[in-house]
Amino acid sequence: MEQRKKTKGTGKRFLTGLLGGVVGGFLVIGGFYLANGSTLAPTSNNSTTSNTNNSKQTQVSNVKVDVDSDITKAVEKVQGAVVSVINLQKQQQSSNNPWGDLFGQAQDEDTQGSDSNDNSDLVEASEGSGVIYKKDGDYAYVVTNNHVVDGSNGLEVVMNDGTKISGELLGTDAVTDLAVIRISSKDVDEVATFGDSDALKVGEPAIAIGSPLGSQYANSVTSGIISSVNRPIADTSTGVNISAIQTDAAINPGNSGGPLINAGGQVIGINSSKIATTQTESSDISVEGMGFAIPSNDVVTIINQLEADGKVTRPALGIYMVDLASVTSQQQEQILGVPTSVKSGVVITQVSPATPAEKAGLKQYDVITKVDDKEITSTTDLQSVLYTKKVGDSITVTYYRGDKEETAKIDLTIDSTVLNKDNNTNSNNQGNN
């Protein structure tokens, strides 16, 4: 069983100890001097040996190497837009502190009715990363992970130059693990641009920028490659599969919410999680170089909704489903009756009443293979397509009923949150949409 860790930043107590250990491990190297008064070199025929001191100090060579590369140029384009995000929460009063209740009560009275941006009574709970993607008038907008801001009573954004700005949380989406923070644009000079994550190639360079272990290491840069695209990752908190970019660029706690960029300096993903260990029957195995980012095309769709509404409203078909690949060949032949040429798709196991799927005529055991001419190979594919749609949109579904291929136009009239409230039953081997 894989243990996937969201790379949320840790608190200050841990960082202070870590920094102490790191500083203690540094070796300070002083300057070296070379004496030139030895007799290692042959002398002249004059029998008198000269003791003249011709010592010279070691100097730095004036020969400079051009280290500009695709990576350095890409980092320069976006680094100024990368920020640290500090999650502020109310301090827990200690029962052992005889002054806690008294001062806590006084503070509550003093701050009652004060501006919501006043973070004086809050303490740092954790840190993550983020990237400024938009500047509009008096405001600028930062995208980060939902788990970075989760549980916050206040937010602070640390700019590239160390300036701290109070942040306002506009909206979050637990399914895609994204959040949008609004800050004053006064100190914002640079914004990042999004690249096309659908155009990514496995093996192309990938660069992660963020604040691993907190803002003490802000704007740390690691590089690697795109290891895989469209990697289905199950979010343990929501039970929903999302399609992610896999990279071997080092991603550590605190990198969450920071950008994954391409060689052109464009944001192609928002770093979200990594696999640290995987379990076998006999032991746990440490894993390196398996980080995951939310694709930029999905990010743009979500943050536009979060800016406008503070939440994401998703349409639903009203079906329960499983991957065709998980159905045995015998069941495919005897129950589904699909042609042997159909190797992948989504099997409808149940259609909820009065839903878009039922109104369009879809039935149990239909096998969906395309949505709007896009190949559907798994439930993740179908979810990903629906996540790009809005309630009120229409889609064309291609499916097999037995050995016949058919199409149906479906009007997406139901909000998935409403449908999920009505459908409280859900098995471990099937998803609903």
Task: Enter the tokens of residue 111.
Answer: 């701050």
Residue 177 among the catalytic residues: yes
SS (H, E, C) 52-75: CCCCEECCCCCCCCCCCCHHHHHH
CA–CA separation, 133 and 140 (whole Å): 8
| Residue 76 DSSP SS3 | helix
Q: DSSP character for 332? A: I
- Selection from 86, 79, 70, 69 nearest residue 192 by Cα: 79
CA–CA separation, 254 and 210 (whole Å): 7
Question: Could you tell me if 81 and 265 are in contact, meaning their C-beta atoms sit under 8 angstroms apart?
Answer: no
Which residue of the set 84, 126, 152, 177 is catalytic?
177
Which residue of the set 129, 147, 215, 298 is catalytic?
147
Task: Enter the tokens of residue 403.
Answer: 């050995």
Q: Which helix (H) or strand (E) holds 331?
A: helix 329-331
Which residue of the set 129, 256, 352, 378 is catalytic?
256
SS (H, E, C) 151-218: CCCEEEEECCCCCEEEEEEEEEECCCCEEEEEEECCCCCCCCCECCHHHCCCCCEEEEEECCCCHHHC
As annotated, the active-site residues are: 147, 177, 256
